Amino acid sequence: MRTDWMPGRREDQLAMARQWMEILPGKEAEWHIPAGMVARLGELIAEAAARQEKARSPEGSRVDAARAREGFRDLTAHMRDIHRRVFFMPPLSIADFISLGLRPHDLVRTNHFEVPETVEFVIHLHDIRQLIVEFWIEGAAHKAKPRGYQGAVIIWVIRDAPPSGPGDFTGHKMASRTPVTLSFDETERGKTVYVALAWQNDRGYLGEWSGFKSAVIP
């Protein structure tokens, strides 16, 4: 039984992406969608569709077919990024998910999709341009990740004022074990970075985001 929310056929992937493009531009502020994310989706849709058309034309070559595969890899990777960073945060409703073409079982809270644990963490100053993030299950006496989980997703953003929500964060990475090092550029030294974490299970579903913490980049 297929459990991935992403359609398998390219035509269906394009159809879903275009469906999102009818909805997301009007939801950027309400859903805290990071700046440029929707515009990039539009660019990737156009590029994937054009490459697909070229590859399927009588003049299409093996090179064109490879470029089409690459275009759809980029498109679906961006869609998964949107799904992970935007669609599993308030204030989306069940009706919102359905309008995006996501299957109802994606919304059902079952053991496969639940991520009940939350993350506790501390930030340590390390070498110049580096911070160490040490994390564990909130309330646990050990620092092992939950059994069967991929790890914790770390998001961060450099800004003068505290972020209003997870959608304001621009950097993210998966950490399979603690601690993890965040490295920054020389131009970012002395600036304030805000960090938050959430556990991600083996199905790719995120738990609740932790509270935001901040540190000055050394």
Highest mean pLDDT among 100-114, 134-148, 174-188, 192-206: 174-188
Which stretch of 53-67, 81-95, 194-208 has the lowest confidence by average pLDDT?
Answer: 81-95
State mean pLDDT over 211-215.
94
pTM for this model (two decimals): 0.53
The total domain count for the chain is 2
Check whether residue 161 and residue 209 sit in a common domain: yes
Tell me the residue ranges of DSSP E strands in 93-205.
119-125, 130-137, 151-158, 171-175, 180-183, 192-200
Check whether residue 189 and residue 149 sit in a common domain: yes
Sheet holding 130-137, edge to edge: 119-125, 130-137, 180-183
Q: What is the CA radius of gyration of the chain?
A: 19
Please report whether residue 3 resides in a domain: no
Check whether residue 15 and residue 51 sit in a common domain: yes
Please report whether residue 182 resides in a domain: yes
Rounded Cα–Cα distance for residues 93 and 189 (Å):
40
Please report whether residue 1 resides in a domain: no
Rounded Cα–Cα distance for residues 178 and 197 (Å):
12
Query: Domain residues for 206?
Result: 119-216
Check whether residue 138 and residue 84 sit in a common domain: no
Check whether residue 74 and residue 161 sit in a common domain: no
Please report whether residue 112 resides in a domain: no
Check whether residue 162 and residue 200 sit in a common domain: yes
Check whether residue 202 and residue 146 sit in a common domain: yes
Q: How many CB atoms lie within 10 A of CB 108?
A: 10
